[in-house]
Amino acid sequence: MSEKAIEINNLKKVYGKSLHALKGISFSVEKGDFIALLGPNGAGKSTTIGIICSLVNKTSGEVKVFDHSIDSELEAAKRCLGLVPQEFNFSQFETPLQIVVNQAGYYGVPRKIALQRAEKYLKQLDLWDKKDTPSRTLSGGMKRRLMIARALIHEPKVLILDEPTAGVDIEIRRSMWEFLTELNEQGTTIVLTTHYLEEAEQLCRNVAIINHGEIIENTSIKDLISRLDIETFILDVDKLPSEFPNITDVEFRQRDESSLEIDVAKTVSFNRVFEWLSQHNIQVMSMRNKANRLEELFVRMTETQSN
């Protein structure tokens, strides 16, 4: 029997009397996986993560972390988990070094070892020169990285990140991606939520999509992408054609004075589009994908479900 990193079974959460945030979700995360938990605002991502990490009390259902149920073996389950929450949740007055070393202490790591690890992770996350400044003076991106260092200090088998790259600039985001990829290659299972589908596509192998407290999709990123049967391109052209061609599975639209929008089915060779354009003596100056294809799919999936 293969051991799962996380196993969730019919998990429900009702806030107050009637806010059904999770309506009985089930999914699992393989050991060593890198999975994205996607969903629109208010879908229930943070609630799910909160329950896994003991910050939110579940209403019913089962959660197991490396086979340790959070009901009967909570301590063992907690030792396997590291959490980078969506909101900053450290004391604004403490320094990064204090925050990280104390956190290690809560996991029972002796102070001497904690200090060594703190140095390692604060250096890796580029925070070592800020180690003694009050954390409220850190920038937003630094605060996110501080929470990553804190989550790793007890060297957990599973790292859960709730929107770690929200409000982080491109350069740092890329270095975070690199860092996480490397961590995953070394064996850490990673669960990540994000609103950037490009990020999920870059980093993750699998994806679970949650909407209105229900899992509406749980598959591999590859599979998801293979389902995109039509792609839309934008072509900047030197002049517009007077009429549009009649090519099967290709649809032309005028976008504005100098550009065209073309839907092309995956089965159609793009050459046929270019042939027609050159026959009509139209020069293509540049060409790009319209929006992120995954984003479109995502919007379609979550919209269908709401209706």
Ligand X SMILES: Nc1ncnc2c1ncn2[C@@H]1O[C@H](COP(=O)(O)OP(=O)(O)OP(=O)(O)O)[C@@H](O)[C@H]1O
Residues 132-161 that bind Mg ion (CB under 5 A): none
**74 part of the interface to another protein, by CB under 8 A:** yes
Q: Using CB under 8 A, which of 45, 64, 143, 154 touches another protein? A: 154
Site string for another protein, 43-72 (x = CB under 8 A): -------x--xxxxx---------------
3-state secondary structure of 252: strand
Q: Which is nearer to ligand X, 60 or 254 (CB)?
A: 60
Concatenated DSSP letters of 2-48: PPEEEEEEEEEEEETTTEEEEEEEEEEEETT-EEEEE--TTSSHHHH
**Residue among 5, 70, 103, 144 that touches another protein (CB under 8 A):** 103
* Interacting residues of 49 by C-beta distance below 8 A, sequence separation 6+: 37, 83, 85, 160, 162, 191, 193
| Contact between 89 and another protein per CB under 8 A | yes
Q: Is 195 helix (H, G, I), strand (E, B) or coil?
A: coil
Token pair for 236 = 């900047």
Task: Return d(Cα 128, Cα 73) in angstroms, integer.
Answer: 35
Residue 80 binds: one of Mg ion, ligand X, another protein, none (C-beta under 5 to 8 A by kind): none
**Torsional sign, CA 116, 121, 127, 132:** negative
Q: How far is the CB of 201 from another protein (least distance, A)?
A: 29
> Which one among 86, 181, 202, 218 touches Mg ion, defined by CB under 5 A?
86
Instruction: Give the nearest distance from C-beta 36 to ligand X in angstroms.
Output: 13
Which residues have C-beta within 8 Å of that of residue 98, sequence separation ≥ 6? none
Judged by beta carbon, residue 53 or residue 297, the one nearer another protein is: 53
218 binds, among Mg ion, another protein, ligand X, none (CB under 5 to 8 A by kind): none
Closest CA to 68 of 161, 4, 152: 4
Report the nearest approach of ligand X to the CB of residue 20 (Å): 9
Binding interface with ligand X (CB under 6 A): 15, 19, 21, 39, 41-47, 86
Contact by Cβ (8 Å): 24, 12: yes
91 interacts with another protein by CB under 8 A: yes
